[in-house]
Amino acid sequence: MTIDAFIDALPKVELHVHLIGSASAATVLELSRRHPGSGVPTTEGELRRFYTFRDFPHFAEVYGAVNALVREPRDVATLVVGLARDLASQGARYAEVQVTPYAHHVVGMPMREVTEALDLAARRSQAECGVEMAYIFDIPGEYGEQAARITVEHALQEPPAALVGFGIGGIEQERRKYRDAYRSAFSAARAAGLHSVPHAGEMTGPETIWEVIEGYGAERIGHGITCLADPRLVAHLRETQLPLDVCPTSNLCTGQVARMEDHPLPRMLEEGLYVTLNSDDPPMFATTLAEEYRLAAKVFGLGTRELARLARNGVQASYLAEERKQALVAEIDALVAAG
């Protein structure tokens, strides 16, 4: 079996993908033409140029512009089902989708209608695509106390049936201004049984990773690639096997690494850290979940057993039911044995 055939056949889960960032070019163009004057291009060539990011703040600006195109509950459902269809074509069986309720709140969508759209979309994704969808509600970290309050209220008062986690994203440097509000929001979410899955260590150093471990009770961390600068943190992550959801192409496109060859993923694996492989905002970064596996093989030299380990890590780090985890791990092991 060739490496490409192995990757195609490998059962996968996607643990770090944003709903808005998953919108295909066709969907974004449809929405931008529906809402002229939004600032988002209406032709494919212009959209490709629009998705050329100078740095993370520029990416956040573009992401916000695309987000503003999602104005009705049916748009939310369309995005979820479109993502499920894309993932199914890549051999993915399950995804935990990052949803930002505050973004829907500011354009006037009621909590209940957003939740109904997410519930409908999860059912359709399973029935039509065979992909189980779960949700993580995340706070946009640069928007402060109101964003934290709206996000946790939605999570506790009107949660979708498949809500499993609570997170925070956005520009990490802005978080320290609202530290107490974010800690309080995570405390309330965790008390309600939601898993803590914040972003950290993407565009700031190890101190942000320590903050989410100690202040947010992180059970899994989005990115975490700057951990290697702190030997004590590396030792802690190795000992606890706290999962890190790594997204290599995203890090390159937003300027967190200068060249893909410089990405810390190989060293993270060498250090014995618990790594999962993910796509983050795939159409914006011209990638897919399967393409991230191909990149790991071609650029980092990972073989089938190492790729299977990443897939197995994703399953085990997910919030799938235990019997589903066991079944997927058995499929992965059978593929390795057959190859």
- Whether residue 311 contacts residue 10, with contact meaning beta carbons closer than 8 Å, is answered with yes
What is the DSSP code string of 248-278? Answer: HHHHHHTTSSSSGGG-SHHHHHHTT--EEE-
Say which residues have a Cβ less than 8 Å from residue 265's Cβ, sequence separation at least 6: 225, 246, 248, 275, 296, 300
Closest CA to 98 of 214, 18, 210, 175: 18
- The 3-state secondary structure of 128-180, one letter per residue: HHCCEEEEEEEEECCCHHHHHHHHHHHHHHCCCCCEEEEEEECCHHHHHHHHH
Q: Which two tokens stand for residue 232?
A: 């004590």
Q: Which two tokens stand for residue 30?
A: 């449809």
**Which residues are designated catalytic?**
202
- Whether residue 278 contacts residue 317, with contact meaning beta carbons closer than 8 Å, is answered with no
Count of positions (residues) in the chain = 339
